[in-house]
Structure 1
Amino acid sequence: MREPLLTPMAAGVAYAVAALVLSGVLSPVLTGELRGPLARPQTILPMLLVNGVWGAVCGVCALGVRRLRGGAV
């Protein structure tokens, strides 16, 4: 992985965006009403931030593994 911190962080944010879109499409189909983050817009930013932070945590772990294996940081 070229960017062991940035790549998982971006993946976390992309996951949050995908979950946001899917919940907006599927909740009305499955339950008949809008549910999830789009129904409560104040939850969208925290959702993006939390997923980005978890991605960053995974990136820090990847940096640690790279360092333990003797690779360049």
Structure 2
Amino acid sequence: MPTGRTGTAAPVPALPTHPHRRRPHRIDDLRAIAGEHPAIAALARDVPLGAAVLEDLEAHAVHTPVWHALTTDTTPRTRTQL
């Protein structure tokens, strides 16, 4: 599990897409886990968590808004905006 200092983003590793599951569902699954799993929910109170799809990172770069916060709104953002 990623850890970091308070206020330091700890992105979840990039997710490769899978032909049988579309990207929004995978990120929604991670959001659900972040809200329901006690240890992850506790970490998320101190460390911003996010996920990105590997293909988006490869196509656009890490500093573009391809990261999805797991505990706030669904607006894509840069890694430093998590």
Please report the TM-score for the alignment, with normalisation by the length of structure 2: 0.31
More strand by share: 2
Q: Tell which has more relative contact order, 1 or 2 (C-alpha 8 A, sep 6+).
A: 1
TM-score when scaled to structure 1?
0.34
Structure having the higher helix fraction is: 1
